[in-house]
Amino acid sequence: MDKLKNFIDTNREAFEDDLLPEGHFERFEQKLAAPRKSWATLYSLCAFAAAACIALLFLFKLPGGTPLHTQPGQVATGQHTCEVKEEIEELRLYYNMQMSDIISQMQAMYKQQRTPGTEELLKETKRVLTDNYMFEETVLPTLPCSNAGLYAMNLHYSTSLESLNIMLKQMENMKTTNKK
């Protein structure tokens, strides 16, 4: 270590030069690895959301699942069913509003600056919305009218919302990368 310090002290002029050789940054950038696109992450996240929907569909189609409709002889649980149905509808509206907000932010970013890759992200948002529509049409009516049904619904929508948040962050990253 002392030899290195002595070498630096004796050759101080060589180390004080702040300028790098011409073309240094260009050569350095050529040696860097090309940035990897995270399309694999995006597609795997969408595949995970679709697999979760299918798993929920099969889970609630198993025998012993509780239907949303009560039997005519069950008067006491009829009021509970109505309360849970209201909660299910409120939860559905809440998540749909959150997803619409994120998508509108993404569309505004796309209109401001059309950077490469943002159009594909907008197409993926349509796929997430289609999955949610299919969930609402096929799985939601078969969910049990209980806390378990609310949990399954919350799980599905939170996964969709998280995937949209990830796409929004990717779009923001693309925007800041292109500004640099």
* 78 pLDDT higher than 70: no
- State the pLDDT confidence band at 72, using cuts at 50, 70 and 90: very low
Give the separation between CA 166 and CA 172, rounded to whole angstroms.
10
Contacts of 94 (CB under 8 A, 6+ apart): none
Q: pTM here?
A: 0.51
**Is the model more confident about 7 or about 69?**
7
What mean pLDDT, rounded, does the chain reach? 75
Contacts of 103 (CB under 8 A, 6+ apart): 125, 129, 164
Measured in whole angstroms, the distance separating CA 24 from the mean position of its chain's CA atoms is 39
* pLDDT score of 69: 47
Measured CA distances, 12 to 19, 24, 28, 38 (Å): 15, 22, 25, 45
